[in-house]
Amino acid sequence: MNVILEEGPLSTIAEKVLADERIDESEALQLYECRDLNALGTLADICNNRKNRRRVSYILNRYINYSNYCILSCAFCSFARKKRNADGFQLSTEEIATIAEQAVQQGITELHIVGGLHPSLPFSYYTDMLHALKNAAPGMSLKCFTAIEILHLAWLSKQSVIDTLKELRAAGLNSITGGGAEIFRNEVRRRIARGKESAEEYLDVHRIWHQMGERSTCTMLYGHVENLADRVDHLRQLRELQDETGGFTGFVPLAYQPENNTIPVTVPPTGVDSMKTIAVSRIYLDNFDHITAYWIGLGVKSAQVALDYGADDLHGTIQEEKIFHMAGADSPQERTKNEMIQAIEETNRVPVQRNTFYEPLTLHGSSSQKQTSDEESSAVSPGNKKQEKAFI
Ligand code: SF4
């Protein structure tokens, strides 16, 4: 018998989850505080298997940071630089287009492009960059800019957010990134990201993008000065917007990295904390199809384990990650396609190469397609039902 079911109220929550009913915020908090990590993981795994069976997706993507100059100084940020700093940089549109041409040769399907809030680049730099990328790599999916960058670009272009997004889309933007959410609650936000956009502004940028018929991802930076209730409040706001628009393709929890910044937290979140965060997210965010184990922040090994705690996506090959590594992440800078596939297969799950919108491009069957379909069918019925019964 699992401890989770011996602790009175938790058995009620488990029964709701098994009955595919929505849990509320106080129940999510109780799950977070639950001491039986494996029971929590089993519940989250059941929720994940209902949605994704044994499939785990990854994407062939490449990160590009066009610049790290930023007019803000978020306390948690180790990436931003001022013009006076020797290690500040900014790429020309030609340099970015050259990277895109190389990415095409490598079979990359998505460029993930973000930067700081640059103090002097004009709005035309961003539209020129998108045009240049579409010329250099016509079929490439361009996932660019966080919500705060969109607000910065709206300010630069002296347009509303919707008109700015329309102009960026016309120039080639396919999707916006989920970065910049941090923790929504004001008290926390003031401590770690003073001057950054409010939670309402972040959500509003995504709302408008979704209302334009487009999709985006969303994130939560956890493991710094926030408490568990702050995290649940963050998840609540994401779930509410998803109820309203249905425009989020997936949720990406980001483990805080403590180096080279001014936050008085010196260690990253523990493995237990990260597995709980993945599991509670999977159970609570019942209107999200996908939860990502972001291996850059978790490390590859923990990201593999997270696939048993509710995650169904391993993000991408990435190639040149700067933001987390400047903050102390000790994961590799990139993974090859074969390494992504191997990492997933080692967990006895089925790797699926996806596109930006989590649509499958290639279903890999290591032994045979029969094994794949057997694994998948066992995940939705008898094995999984057995798993649910054992849990009750
Ligand atoms: S987190 Fe983003 S907005 Fe904040 S300082 Fe860093 S680059 Fe600038």
Domain ranges of the chain: 42-387
> How confident is the model at residue 6, as a pLDDT?
57
Distance 341 CA to ligand 1 centre (A): 33
Which DSSP letter does residue 224 get? S
Out of 37-51, 137-151, 310-324, pick the least confident: 310-324
Residue 210 banded pLDDT, cuts 50, 70, 90: very high
- Give the containing element (helix H, strand E) for 18: helix 9-18
Q: Does domain 42-387 have CATH number 3.40.50.300?
A: no
> How confident is the model at residue 365, as a pLDDT?
76
Contact 238, 273 (CB under 8 A): no
Instruction: Using the atom order of ligand 1, give the atom closest to the CA of residue 76.
Output: 1
Cα separation of 275 and 293, whole Å?
9
Find all residues with CB under 8 Å of 17, minimum gap 6, and list them. Answer: 23, 43, 46, 47, 283
**Average model confidence (pLDDT) for the chain?**
91
Give start and end residues of each alpha helix (H) in 328-381.
337-345, 369-380
Nearest of 245, 302, 300, 258 to residue 278 by alpha carbon: 302
- Best substitution site from 68, 71, 72 to test ligand 1's pocket, by max atoms within 8 Å of Cβ? 72
Nearest of 337, 253, 254 to residue 44 by alpha carbon: 253
Nearest CA residue ID for atom 4, ligand 1: 74
Instruction: Using the atom order of ligand 1, give the atom closest to the CA of residue 79.
Output: 6
Distance 116 CA to ligand 1 centre (A): 5
Out of 70-84, 111-125, 322-336, pick the least confident: 322-336
Cα separation of 286 and 20, whole Å?
9
The answer to whether the predicted template modeling score (pTM) of the entire model surpasses 0.95 is no
Instruction: Using the atom order of ligand 1, give the atom closest to the CA of residue 70.
Output: 8
Pairing of strands 350-354, 360-363: antiparallel
Compute the C-alpha angle 143/146/150, nearest 5°.
Answer: 100
Instruction: Using the atom order of ligand 1, give the atom closest to the CA of residue 68.
Output: 7
pLDDT tens digits for 175-206? Answer: 999 999 999 999 999 999 999 999 999 999 99
Measured between alpha carbons, how far is residue 232 from residues 32, 76, 226, 276, 280 in Å?
9, 20, 11, 12, 9
Contact 374, 78 (CB under 8 A): no
Would the pLDDT of 381 be above 50? no
Nearest of 191, 177, 181 to residue 76 by alpha carbon: 191
Distance 79 CA to ligand 1 centre (A): 7
Owner of token pair 């290639």? 362
Under DSSP, is residue 363 helix (H, G, I), strand (E, B) or coil? Answer: strand
Ligand 1 binding pocket, CB closer than 6 Å: 70, 72-74, 77, 79-80, 116-117, 148, 196
Nearest CA residue ID for atom 7, ligand 1: 116
> How confident is the model at residue 328, as a pLDDT?
85
pLDDT tens digits for 5-44? Answer: 555 668 899 999 999 999 999 999 999 999 999 999 999 9
Contact 281, 273 (CB under 8 A): no
Distance 145 CA to ligand 1 centre (A): 12
Contact 101, 53 (CB under 8 A): no
Distance 153 CA to ligand 1 centre (A): 14
Distance 35 CA to ligand 1 centre (A): 35
Cβ-based neighbour number of residue 186 at 10 Å: 11
Nearest CA residue ID for atom 2, ligand 1: 116
Distance 136 CA to ligand 1 centre (A): 28
